[in-house]
């Protein structure tokens, strides 16, 4: 009986870690999608107007740095 209790506790920790990992992957996916939207907006503005909005540029840099931080790269 005691072995099954310890196995259950181990599975609970595994489940919690899995939930954290999946939440992390979903967040990274959201950040990546946002980066693609900003890149698209920058390209469209550059083609149409020949200039890019400063706010869009700052947001793109901000999200790029955050994604690098999440991935653990410099």
Distances (CA, A) of 6 to 24, 43, 46: 27, 56, 60
Q: Is the Cβ–Cβ distance between 28 and 67 less than 8 Å? A: yes
Cβ atoms < 10 Å from Cβ of 36: 11
pLDDT of 6 strictly over 60: no
pLDDT in tens, 21-60: 999 999 999 999 999 999 999 999 999 999 999 999 999 9
Confidence of residue 16 (pLDDT cuts 50, 70, 90): confident
What's the pTM value of the predicted model, to 2 decimals?
0.75
């Amino acid at each position: 009986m005691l072995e099954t209790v310890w196995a259950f506790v181990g599975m609970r920790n595994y489940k919690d870690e899995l939930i954290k990992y999946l939440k992390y992957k979903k967040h990274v996916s959201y950040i990546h999608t946002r980066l693609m939207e900003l890149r698209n907006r920058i390209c469209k503005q550059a083609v149409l107007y020949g200039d890019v909005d400063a706010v869009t540029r700052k947001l793109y840099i901000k999200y790029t740095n955050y994604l690098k931080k999440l991935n653990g790269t410099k």
